[in-house]
Structure formats: structure tokens, C-alpha cells
Chain A
């Protein structure tokens, strides 16, 4: 079966760095997405990785290791507005997006 695992909840401090991990087992791989979803709002696109390595986009970076079936989202200089759920999703061999359950990130002052 297809499976995506990410921690249910994480807590971090304003100004700090947090890493949200995602491991996956899917039938084929055509890329991995990270989305951010604030409470009561729609998911919004953060990043897409298809090759191994780190992609940096401002305070957010996303890393992929295809051989390990592993990705992480790194958030630096955390701000209170970063409190949200972060969803990992993998595009399988049929170009269907398989979603993780999301990680709720709580930022404390």
C-alpha cells in the first residue's frame, strides 16, 4: 500500500528553527510537495522536490532523499504566523497525489 508518515504535532519557539520530517512508501515517485494550512483556511503550496538535495526558499527549505524515501521541511527564524499544519504529499507513478495526515506546528513566544 501507499503510506506517508509525518509527526502529528510539534512545538517550537519563536525565532528558532524546526525540522518537520516526512517518510513515504509509494508506488513510483514523481515528486514531493509541501503545503501549509492555517486553521480554517485552504492548503497553500510551499515547495516541490523531485531531485535529491535541498531547495531553499527564503526562511523555508525542503530536502529530499529518494533512496531513503525521506523529506524534511526546515523552517528558520520562526514567526508566530508559522503556526499551521504542514502537509507532505507525494506524486505517485500515476501522477496521483498521496497526502500525509499533516503535522500541526505550534509556535510559542
Chain B
């Protein structure tokens, strides 16, 4: 059973297109995250949702819009894709109970986005 799953695993698209990445967790966690990891391998937080509500929204272009239909899902929609959006996007989840080790994050397998 996959704890945190993402689709698609690979996404190759043209500049200017709109695309979505889906994420689901079956861990019963309250908090979900989107990260971007670029070619330098730095893991950068983009968004965080707790029980479907946005709690972290880092400096990210508004072309990126997260949507959480329920606490088990957090999808990422990207409009007008640019070359610089090419990266690996990771979804993660945590219990989110504001208690140390319960903030342990569990990651999905990643979506490798290549914008041509």
C-alpha cells in the first residue's frame, strides 16, 4: 500500500501549457505539502495545507495554485508553464499535530516535470 502517491511520475510539456499534478495520502494525516527540488537538489517548500486550509504559501508565482478537495488530497495546478518550472515536485504529508516527531514528513515519489 502506497502511503503518499503522486501522478504523473513524469511530465513533459511545452512552454505556455497548463498542467496538474495530483497527490493522495492514505496515512490519515492532517497536513500536506508541496515541495520543488531543482537541479541543485535544494528542497524548497511551496505550500502547506492543514485540514484543507492553506497554512504556508511561500513566495511562489501565482501561476501555481494548490487545491485540497479533502484532507487526503492536495493537487497542484500550474498555468502558463515556463522553462524555469522544470524540476522535481514532491508531495508530502505529516500528522500535523504540532508535536515534534508528529511533524515527520512522508514524501511521495515525486513528479519530474520537464518544460520544453
Residues of A within 8 A of B (CB): 30-31, 33, 37, 41-45, 48, 50, 85, 87, 91, 95-97, 99, 101-102, 104
Q: How many residues of B contact A (CB 8 A)?
A: 20
B108 at the A/B interface (Cβ < 8 Å)? Answer: yes
Among A33, A48, A96, A97, residue most surrounded by chain B Cβ atoms (within 10 Å): A97
Residues of B within 8 A of A42 (CB): 90, 107-110
Residues of B within 8 A of A44 (CB): 107
Are B103 and A30 in contact, CB atoms less than 8 angstroms apart?
yes
Residues of B within 8 A of A37 (CB): 41
Number of A-B contacts (CB under 8 A): 50
Question: When chains A and B are docked, how far (Å) is the Cα of A101 from the Cα of B41?
Answer: 7
B105 at the A/B interface (Cβ < 8 Å)? Answer: yes
B100 at the A/B interface (Cβ < 8 Å)? Answer: yes
Question: When chains A and B are docked, how far (Å) is the Cα of A41 from the Cα of B61?
Answer: 26
Question: When chains A and B are docked, how far (Å) is the Cα of A97 from the Cα of B96?
Answer: 11
Chain B's closest residue to A50 (CB) is B100
B1 at the A/B interface (Cβ < 8 Å)? Answer: no
Residues of B within 8 A of A (CB): 40-45, 48, 56, 90, 98, 100-101, 103-110
Question: When chains A and B are docked, how far (Å) is the Cα of A102 from the Cα of B100?
Answer: 21
Are B103 and A95 in contact, CB atoms less than 8 angstroms apart?
yes
Question: When chains A and B are docked, how far (Å) is the Cα of A31 from the Cα of B105?
Answer: 13
Residues of A within 8 A of B108 (CB): 42
- Which 6 pairs of residues, A with B, have the shortest CB-CB distance? A42-B107, A31-B100, A48-B101, A99-B43, A95-B98, A101-B42
Question: When chains A and B are docked, how far (Å) is the Cα of A68 from the Cα of B43?
Answer: 25
Residues of B within 8 A of A31 (CB): 100-101, 103
Chain B's closest residue to A85 (CB) is B41
Partner of B42, one of A96, A97, A102: A102
Residues of A within 8 A of B101 (CB): 31, 48, 50
Given contacts A91-B100, A95-B98, A96-B56, are A45 and B41 in contact (CB under 8 A)?
Answer: no
